[in-house]
Amino acid sequence: MSNKVCPIDSVEMEYKFSARMLSKHDVAFFQCPCCSLLQTEEPYWLKDAYVQAYTDMDTGLAARNFFNRFRVEPVLNLLFKCQGEYLDVGGGYGLFTRLMRDIGISCFSTDKYCENFFARTFNPRPNFKATALFAFEVFEHLPDPVTFLVDNFSKYHCKTIIFSTETLPEHMPSKEWPYYGFPHGQHITFYSSDSLRQLAAHFGCTYLHLFSDFHFISDRNVTFIERLILRSRPLFLLYAALVRIKRWRLSFTHSDASLLTEGT
């Protein structure tokens, strides 16, 4: 069996198990002995997996975007007062960007694999500088997360990213773990908290596992009070409710429509 090197630690990974992807490809899985990153062998089957950008099995696509909107708003208010411009990398159909603009946050979207339907004209300008990047349900699709961050941090002049991905439990999950995604074959990289911490350290950044599948990497200095709010679920939910009350009248829905009308 060919050697595989961890894209984060650059050490040889260890074979763990094999499983059948897309009901026809037998795929080997390897784990890094240093950071516990779990990854498939070289994903030769992705052409089959991405016949369409989103799998029909992703029935939570719309709900996830609405949920992420309410998770992200308080984080941006706490750390950036919701000022600046934000970019959803791998933004898919642009639904999250449209939802963010509907609550008065200047968000843009880019995705080289999917057409932007909901925020069609809100793509990043040349030399776009982002206050923070978003990447929801993206990291598990990446063969090389280090290169992904190098490229995007450099291109958008930003070293803050808020993202979602399920992390590995303490013990290796059985093959019944739904997040493996064997039927659709699109998930190829699975992270532990250690691997995400190592990934952040590669860029001189801080990593925070906020809660559930929600993560934060940034070179910004996060204060003790900010950490307390971000890491405490009750405090975060209270703060989120207060922010929503404070900002409930803010929206770009109508101003965006006027802007687009003027541009026609």
What structural domains and CATH numbers belong to the chain? 61-262 (3.40.50)
Please return the burial class of 54, using the count of CB atoms within 10 Å of its CB with bins 0-12, 13-18 and 19+. middle
Please return the burial class of 109, using the count of CB atoms within 10 Å of its CB with bins 0-12, 13-18 and 19+. buried
- For residue 235 the two structure tokens come to 């405090």
Helix (H) or strand (E) holding 46: helix 46-49
What does the pLDDT read at residue 61? 84
Average pLDDT per consecutive 10 residues, the chain (264 residues; last block may be shorter) = 86 97 96 97 93 72 92 97 97 96 97 90 95 97 97 97 96 95 96 97 96 94 96 95 96 89 69
254 phi and psi angles, rounded to 5 deg: -80, -40
What does the pLDDT read at residue 54? 66
How far apart are the C-alpha atoms of 95 and 23, rounded to whole Å?
31
SS3 248: coil
What does the pLDDT read at residue 213? 94
What does the pLDDT read at residue 75? 97
Per the confidence metrics, is the pTM higher than 0.85?
yes
Please return the burial class of 174, using the count of CB atoms within 10 Å of its CB with bins 0-12, 13-18 and 19+. exposed
Helix (H) or strand (E) holding 71: helix 61-80
DSSP string, 140-179: GG-S-HHHHHHHHHHHTT--EEEEE-PBPPSSPPPTT-GG
What does the pLDDT read at residue 245? 96
DSSP string, 86-136: EEEET-TTSHHHHHHHTTT--EEEE-TTS---TTTT-PPPTT---SEEEEE
SS3 29: strand
How far apart are the C-alpha atoms of 161 and 152, rounded to whole Å?
10
